[in-house]
Amino acid sequence: MLRVEDLACWRGERAVFAGLSFSLEAGEAVALLGPNGAGKSSLLRVLAGLLPPAAGRVLWAGEDIRQDTPSHAARLRYLGHLDALKPALSVRENLAFHAALAGGDVDAALGSMALAPLAELPARMLSAGQRRRLAIARLALAPAALWLLDEPTVGLDTASIARFGHLLAAHCAQGGMVLAATHVPLPIADGRQLDMS
């Protein structure tokens, strides 16, 4: 469903990556590997439509994503380095904000990352790991075909990584796709790796 053809990305006068081609099918999870500066985050931003490619194309079902960026944005969830939370809103209110945009069950999302006991706390009072769990819980709100995840397990404890693994498995079992940049092993069963070294 997602196909990358001869993709290139430049930052300033430096090619971050060039000539990159791969595909991602329904139900598949791929871990992006490589050292810092290899272009993993830049690739995710290009695939999300947040950064234009210097060359090449990103295709969804054979169509260039730049032809209909609103439709492309609706079919994906992007989790970057920042957790994108509103600090004054409670955990529940943060999820309700996103549910109002894309739909979904706030209580189920809270349960997916064991956040129900923290539901009424303002996000500003959460630890780094709790903030990351809240950001990940947004993935559980409403279905989206493609998850683009940048270092999703940063700050998570072992139990939270296991919960995240259950979310990944359920998403792929329903035909969803995952592309995750990481420096550590992810809880992706039968996932393949794309090395950007």
In this predicted model, what pLDDT tens digit does every residue of 5-41 receive, in sequence order?
A: 999 999 888 889 999 999 999 999 999 999 988 899 9
Number of domains in the chain: 1
156 within a domain of the structure (yes/no): no
Q: Please tell me the predicted confidence (pLDDT) of residue 188.
A: 76
Task: Using pLDDT thresholds of 50, 70 and 90, give the confidence band for residue 168.
Answer: very high
Distance CA 118, CA 42 (A): 33
64 within a domain of the structure (yes/no): no
Q: Is the pLDDT of residue 193 over 90?
A: no
Distance CA 180, CA 148 (A): 6
Task: Using pLDDT thresholds of 50, 70 and 90, give the confidence band for residue 137.
Answer: very high
- For residue 158, give the H/E element and its range: helix 158-173
119 within a domain of the structure (yes/no): yes
11 within a domain of the structure (yes/no): no
27 within a domain of the structure (yes/no): no
129 within a domain of the structure (yes/no): yes
Q: Please tell me the predicted confidence (pLDDT) of residue 184.
A: 79
193 within a domain of the structure (yes/no): no
Q: Please tell me the predicted confidence (pLDDT) of residue 144.
A: 95
Tally Cβ neighbours within 10 Å of residue 181: 26
Q: Tell me the C-alpha to C-alpha distance, in Å, between residue 41 and each of 18, 153, 157, 180.
A: 14, 15, 23, 9
126 within a domain of the structure (yes/no): yes
Q: Please tell me the predicted confidence (pLDDT) of residue 189.
A: 67
In terms of residue numbers, what domain contains 99?
A: 88-143
**Which of the two residues, 162 and 185, has the higher pLDDT score?**
162
In this predicted model, what pLDDT tens digit does every residue of 46-77 receive, in sequence order?
A: 999 999 999 999 999 999 999 999 999 999 99
Mean pLDDT, the chain, integer: 94
